[in-house]
Chains A and B, each alone.
Chain A
Amino acid sequence: MLLLMKDITKRFPGVLALDNVSFDLKKGEIHALVGENGAGKSTLIKILGGIHQPDSGKIILKGKEVKFSSPLDAMMYGISVIHQELNLAENLSVFQNIFLGREGKNPWYINFKDLEKKAKALLDKLGFDLDPRTPVKDLNVSEKQLVAIAKALAYDAEVLVMDEPTATLTEHEVERLFEIMKDLKSHGVSVIFISHRLDEIFEVADRVTVLRDGKKVGEGQVKSFTRNELVRLMVGREIKDMYPKYNEPTDEVIFSVEDFEVPGYVSKTSFEIRRGEIFGVAGLVGCGKSELALGLFGALKSSFSKMRLFGREIDRIKSPLDALKNGIVLIPEDRKKMGLILGLDIVKNITVSNTNTVAGLINIYWKKARKMTQSAVERFRIKTPSIRQLVKNLSGGNQQKVVLSKFLFREPKLVILAEPTRGIDVGAKVEVYNLINQLANEGKAVLFISSELPEIVSLSDRVMVLHRGVTTAIFEKEEITQENILKAATGVDVA
């Protein structure tokens, strides 16, 4: 055994984050760590990475007890953690990032030529197709991921921890990442892999440890579990239907747009949404589907020749305010950047988007705002000790529910949901799917944008696919398969 974390307990003010959890890792295995948000995965990883210190319990590495008092400490012992927020210096180049903090012994001089050569050798060895001199800010998310991996491995890591590395990657890039993981494994590196996607765990992991509410509730060979067993362990109850679908599509067109264009991102396209249906939009990362959403909402410059929503002609959408006035809302894909004001409480977050109802020209009616927030908390089952809780202290799933609730009070006619389940756990996902069904049944036009093919395929009644900004297909219900969508998304002619 390479690593043993034994009886780890960690308490934060108000919560017992880890309760006597043990975790072991063998040399050269890929070990998945799963659990819902708030189950304790991150805390366990942060203890292993030297960010937190456990209240009790010990870490035994290669038979010797070790204590990590800082991330650098952990790295010196060969443990590298790639966090979800990749923590790269955006304005520095790839090779400068890889060797950041270890530029050499001489404090007066950095031999950039040498570092670049070393980086090149490392990237070649790993088979990463990256120019070491490219500034990191010019890379896309998956390339940045590769830089983070290279950086971690440059420390001669024996244990590599990857916290949801696939959340922002495309299908193809995920495949590539898995190859790299398997390759690392064959070189004796052990990988701890955190993911919310069960398919991936079954595809790549050897063993799995399941956490729930700070306790270990299961462990074993991945092969010895079924999907449903894993979900039950994670959630603590049976989830019969991962992708509930009970909306009732009709033929009545309630939203239509012609020649819609977002210059630089989405070429002219026309589509319509019918009453009761869930209209999906799919495509690879960078295909323009995020920009389609932002354009329709007025947050990016866009144009169209004709737009009708419930029979009413809309002549222009130049700003989010225009969109909202016309009954269009966007649940943005990056909730921390675009959806929430993390440092404010739930009441204030909801009030900012609803001043049309809870404020006059100048004054805010706080009593009304609190009442609205209370009803949001109840309707969306937001788990929080109080409506005055700061949003940054909520779990990912609950944060997402705040984002959903803050816009739905505006009685929208068209709801654009961009990646509404990204980074949230299984239980919360099902709740979001239920909500999407309900929105459709309430007669709202629903535009559902997602990079996760299984949910697009399972939920949508029709799917529009983008490839490099061009609409390559609009599939009817019976044509919606992962294969068809992938073909259209990669530009293979399907017609």
Chain B
Amino acid sequence: MKNIWKFMRKNPALVGLLGLYAVLSILSDRFLTISNQINILRQVSIQAIIAFGMTVVIISGGIDLSVGSVFAFSAVVMASIIKGGSVFLGILAALLIGTLFGLFNGVLVAKGRMQPFIATLATMAIARSFTLVYTNGMPITGFSKAFRFIGRGEILKIPVPVLIMLGVLMFTWYLLRKTKLGLYAYSIGGNEEATRLSGVKVDFYKMMFYVISGVFSAISAIILTARLNSAQPIFGQGYELDAIAAAVLGGASLSGGTGSVIGTFFGALMMGIINNGLNLLNVSPFYQQAVKGIVILLAVLLEKEE
């Protein structure tokens, strides 16, 4: 019994998830169907991928508020290039933009010694502005079938976005568990000074963490653009907060040093299920934010108990 309680406190996201499954499968007979479950995963994949990158940054003691704007800018630039004829170059451009903005954040934080919150807040504003200027505020729509496959296609009945999300999940898990970059994320978040004195190139790795976050935003932007067959300049608004919430629900601490990408996945899933469940139950969408907020508070309180 004691062990169960301990497990619950250690994994608030997983426990919340199971609780939501139990409640929703009783309240709605459509909830537990396979098609609805796949639907949830597909909806979650966009936010989850961003949240995975955010998790790496948060573990290292930082934060990245620019993910939503970088998402939008890479989406619109990619969209215009695809309209110009090359899907391949478009995707490449999106990934490049994610990398460059990540690097920019990384340089500001690691070399410029700026606080991550402020540095990425500035980047958030800049990237959003670039997006609006680039598109003149207009959406870019209508792409080839091949490109739309990324957002709408299925392989073995599993949606492509879900497969990409699972791929990024495994990749991030591997990074955090098996590589120096992952270990250093935890150690820099735990004690930057001690890590530096251990001979680690702290600045280089800090930059890498932000690059990962930027690239993941771009990957996510590719999926959503393909799915909606449209890139909108207002894409990604508020995504940074969803990503942070997923990471925190998954056990990451904003002071750094702890967190896991599996936890973040559960956190993102939880938020997706809340949306889905409330829709199924015909609850007004106006309530969704409040329910999410309350769930976050409960999860964090549960963790604090320890």
Which of chain B's residues have a CB closer than 8 A to the CB of A76? none
Name which residue of chain A comes closest to B190, CB basis.
Answer: A341
Which of chain B's residues have a CB closer than 8 A to the CB of A330? 197
Task: Name the one of A297, A325, A348 contacting B186, with C-beta atoms under 8 angstroms.
Answer: A348
Q: Are B179 and A338 within 8 A (Cβ)?
A: no
Answer whether residue A174 sits at the interface, using C-beta atoms and an 8 A cutoff. no
Interface residues of A in 321-345 (CB under 8 A from B): 321, 323-325, 330, 332, 337-344
Q: Are A341 and B196 within 8 A (Cβ)?
A: no
Answer whether residue A250 sits at the interface, using C-beta atoms and an 8 A cutoff. no
CB distance from A77 to the nearest CB of B (A): 30
Q: How far is the CA of A297 from the CA of B196 in the complex (A)?
A: 11
Q: How far is the CA of A185 from the CA of B181 in the complex (A)?
A: 56
Q: Are A362 and B181 within 8 A (Cβ)?
A: yes
Task: Name the one of B179, B187, B190, B198 contacting A320, with C-beta atoms under 8 angstroms.
Answer: B198
Answer whether residue B161 sits at the interface, using C-beta atoms and an 8 A cutoff. no
CB distance from A70 to the nearest CB of B (A): 19
Contact with B along A12-48 (1 / 0, CB 8 A): 0000000000000000000000000000000000000
Interface class of chain A by DSSP: helix
Q: How far is the CA of A332 from the CA of B193 in the complex (A)?
A: 11
Interface residues of B in 32-77 (CB under 8 A from A): none
Contact with B along A452-464 (1 / 0, CB 8 A): 0000000000000
Q: Are B178 and A363 within 8 A (Cβ)?
A: yes
Q: Are B257 and A343 within 8 A (Cβ)?
A: yes
Which of chain A's residues have a CB closer than 8 A to the CB of B257? 341, 343-344
Q: Are A321 and B199 within 8 A (Cβ)?
A: yes
Which of chain B's residues have a CB closer than 8 A to the CB of A366? 178
- Count contacts on B: residues with CB < 8 A to the other chain: 21
Q: How far is the CA of A338 from the CA of B190 in the complex (A)?
A: 11
Q: Are A364 and B180 within 8 A (Cβ)?
A: yes
Which of chain B's residues have a CB closer than 8 A to the CB of A364? 178-180, 183
Answer whether residue B265 sits at the interface, using C-beta atoms and an 8 A cutoff. no
Q: Are A352 and B200 within 8 A (Cβ)?
A: yes
Answer whether residue B191 sits at the interface, using C-beta atoms and an 8 A cutoff. yes
CB distance from B119 to the nearest CB of A (A): 23
Answer whether residue A353 sits at the interface, using C-beta atoms and an 8 A cutoff. yes
Which of chain A's residues have a CB closer than 8 A to the CB of B193? 337-338
Q: Are A320 and B199 within 8 A (Cβ)?
A: yes
Contact with B along A339-382 (1 / 0, CB 8 A): 11111100011011101100100111010000000000000000
Q: Are B197 and A351 within 8 A (Cβ)?
A: no
Task: Name the one of B179, B198, B201 contacting A352, with C-beta atoms under 8 angstroms.
Answer: B198
CB distance from A360 to the nearest CB of B (A): 9
Name which residue of chain A comes closest to B198, CB basis.
Answer: A353
Which of chain B's residues have a CB closer than 8 A to the CB of A351? 183
Counting chain B CB atoms within 10 Å of each CB, which of A338, A343, A356, A364 scores highest?
A343
Q: How many CB-defined contacts (below 8 Å) exist between A and B?
A: 74
Name which residue of chain B comes closest to A350, CB basis.
Answer: B198
Answer whether residue A299 sits at the interface, using C-beta atoms and an 8 A cutoff. yes
Q: Are B179 and A337 within 8 A (Cβ)?
A: no
Which of chain A's residues have a CB closer than 8 A to the CB of B183? 348, 351-352, 355, 364
Answer whether residue A406 sits at the interface, using C-beta atoms and an 8 A cutoff. yes
Name which residue of chain A comes closest to B182, CB basis.
Answer: A364
Q: How far is the CA of A349 from the CA of B200 in the complex (A)?
A: 12
Name which residue of chain B comes closest to A322, CB basis.
Answer: B199
Interface residues of B in 165-205 (CB under 8 A from A): 178-181, 183-184, 186-187, 190-191, 193-201
Which of chain B's residues have a CB closer than 8 A to the CB of A340? 191, 194
Q: Are B258 and A343 within 8 A (Cβ)?
A: yes
Name which residue of chain A comes closest to B184, CB basis.
Answer: A352
Which of chain A's residues have a CB closer than 8 A to the CB of B179? 362-364
Q: Are B190 and A342 within 8 A (Cβ)?
A: yes
Interface residues of A in 294-330 (CB under 8 A from B): 297, 299, 320-321, 323-325, 330
Q: Are A299 and B199 within 8 A (Cβ)?
A: no
Counting chain A CB atoms within 10 Å of each CB, which of B184, B187, B197, B257 scores highest?
B197
Q: How far is the CA of A321 from the CA of B197 in the complex (A)?
A: 8
Interface residues of B in 236-265 (CB under 8 A from A): 257-258
Which of chain A's residues have a CB closer than 8 A to the CB of B195? 341, 352
Interface residues of A in 70-86 (CB under 8 A from B): none
Q: How far is the CA of A325 from the CA of B191 in the complex (A)?
A: 22
Task: Name the one of A320, A342, A349, A362 contacting B197, with C-beta atoms under 8 angstroms.
Answer: A320
Which of chain A's residues have a CB closer than 8 A to the CB of B200? 321, 352, 355
CB distance from B175 to the nearest CB of A (A): 9
Q: How far is the CA of A183 from the CA of B179 in the complex (A)?
A: 59
Q: Are B197 and A297 within 8 A (Cβ)?
A: yes
Q: Are A337 and B180 within 8 A (Cβ)?
A: no
Which of chain A's residues have a CB closer than 8 A to the CB of B197? 297, 299, 320, 330, 332, 338-339
Q: How far is the CA of A297 from the CA of B194 in the complex (A)?
A: 13
Q: Are B181 and A337 within 8 A (Cβ)?
A: no
Contact with B along A125-155 (1 / 0, CB 8 A): 0000000000000000000000000000000
Which of chain B's residues have a CB closer than 8 A to the CB of A348? 183, 186-187
Q: How far is the CA of A456 from the CA of B128 in the complex (A)?
A: 61
Counting chain A CB atoms within 10 Å of each CB, which of B191, B193, B198, B257 scores highest?
B198
Q: How far is the CA of A466 from the CA of B71 in the complex (A)?
A: 57
Which of chain A's residues have a CB closer than 8 A to the CB of B199? 320-321, 323-325, 353, 356
Q: How far is the CA of A332 from the CA of B199 in the complex (A)?
A: 13
Name which residue of chain B comes closest to A337, CB basis.
Answer: B193
Q: How far is the CA of A299 from the CA of B193 in the complex (A)?
A: 10
Q: How far is the CA of A467 from the CA of B212 in the complex (A)?
A: 49
CB distance from A429 to the nearest CB of B (A): 23
Which of chain B's residues have a CB closer than 8 A to the CB of A339? 194, 197
Q: How far is the CA of A300 from the CA of B178 in the complex (A)?
A: 32
Name which residue of chain B comes closest to A362, CB basis.
Answer: B179
A sample of 30 cross-chain residue pairs with beta-carbon separation below 8 angstroms, ordered by A number, consists of A297-B197, A320-B198, A320-B199, A332-B194, A338-B193, A340-B191, A340-B194, A341-B190, A341-B194, A341-B195, A341-B257, A342-B191, A343-B186, A343-B258, A344-B187, A344-B257, A348-B183, A348-B186, A348-B187, A352-B183, A352-B184, A353-B198, A353-B199, A355-B183, A355-B200, A362-B179, A362-B181, A363-B179, A363-B180, A364-B183
Beyond A332-B194, A362-B181, 14 extra complex contacts between A and B, CB < 8 Å: A299-B196, A321-B201, A325-B199, A332-B197, A337-B191, A338-B194, A341-B194, A344-B186, A344-B257, A352-B194, A353-B199, A355-B200, A363-B180, A406-B198
Residues of A within 8 A of B (CB): 297, 299, 320-321, 323-325, 330, 332, 337-344, 348-349, 351-353, 355-356, 359, 362-364, 366, 406
Interchain residue pairs A-B with the least CB separation, the first 10: A341-B190, A353-B198, A324-B199, A341-B191, A321-B199, A343-B190, A343-B257, A352-B187, A341-B187, A352-B198
